[in-house]
Amino acid sequence: MSKFKKGDRVIAKKCSDNALVIGKAGTVIGVNGNTGIYAVEFDDYVGGHNALPAYDGRNGHCWFLTEKELKPASKFEAGQIYRTREDGSIIKITSSTGYYVTYETIRSKRNEVGSFLSTSLFAKRLEPLAGRQIGEAIKEYDAGPTTGKHAYSDSEIAEAKAFVLDTIRDLAEKGTYASFGTDKYGSCTALVSGKNSKAKVYGNYAELYQLDTGESKCSPNDVPNTWIGKAVALCRALGRPIPDYVR
């Protein structure tokens, strides 16, 4: 089975017949399953070809390479804009080796430049911004000192909602049910029960025994959100770790 597929972003880590492609990023435009040869269209001119007749790429930007000569490209590329989940800072990626990433801040109370590893928790908790989202995020950050409260992003709320609804569905399939009590201050109580007893979830099955509850209380520094509160309370009721997006 091929490691890469058409459309994957890759970096040439070595090449026996064209040194110009080494270290360059490109996109897989074709895969020969019989020979294991990949046609890659590089972002930069590499003195190559257009991969015709099997594939159709930009002339001078294409080269054929083996799987061993390629590595996955980092999702981080220079020019991309992200928002940090820790404090809402907005950063711009300035360079990426695929593993080591540098950035400059657009809005932040921290350093104007920084770096992180693409496999780090910091990287996993970055929220990508594009188009109108960038301007809206900047306005939201600038308004922060006035409100004095942290507001969860749309993607974080959507993630919490999906978690709650998926978990409720999974529990219901096992004859176990979840109910919630919330208030206007963002506090929430989750009650998980099945046949008048509570459930603990182990992997893909649930064991019913005594009743358990989970509670969450909104921080005075946060803007209350029902789905975030439900997600935290449900995790506590089931003995699961609190999601990373709750900070």
Model pLDDT, residue 93? 93
- Each of the 247 residues of the chain gets a pLDDT tens digit; together they read 678 888 888 889 999 899 999 989 889 999 998 888 999 999 999 999 999 999 999 999 999 999 999 988 777 888 999 998 777 889 999 988 767 788 999 988 766 788 888 778 888 888 888 888 898 888 888 776 545 677 788 788 888 888 888 888 888 777 777 778 777 666 787 777 654 444 444 444 444 444 567 777 777 677 778 888 888 888 888 888 887 777 6
Separation of alpha carbons 173 and 242, rounded Å? 23
Q: Can you list the domains of the chain with their CATH numbers? A: 9-72 (2.30.30.190), 81-147 (no CATH), 154-238 (3.30.160)
Q: With helix as H, strand as E and coil as C, how does the chain read?
A: CCCCCCCCEEEECCCCCCHHHCCCEEEEEEEECCCCEEEEEECCCCCCECCCCCCCCCCCCEEEEEHHHEEECCCCCCCCEEEECCCCCEEEEEEECCCEEEEEEEECCCCCEEEEECCCHHHHCEEEECCHHHHHHHHHHHHHHHHCCECCCHHHHHHHHHHHHHHHHHHHHCCCEEEEEECCCCCEEEEEEECCEEEEEECCEEEEECCEEEEECCCCCECCCHHHHHHHHHHHHHCCCCCCCCC
pTM of the entire predicted model:
0.38
What value, to the nearest 5°, has the Cα angle with vertex 222 and ends 217 and 227?
A: 60
Model pLDDT, residue 185? 66
Model pLDDT, residue 58? 93
Model pLDDT, residue 195? 42
Separation of alpha carbons 100 and 103, rounded Å? 10
Model pLDDT, residue 74? 74
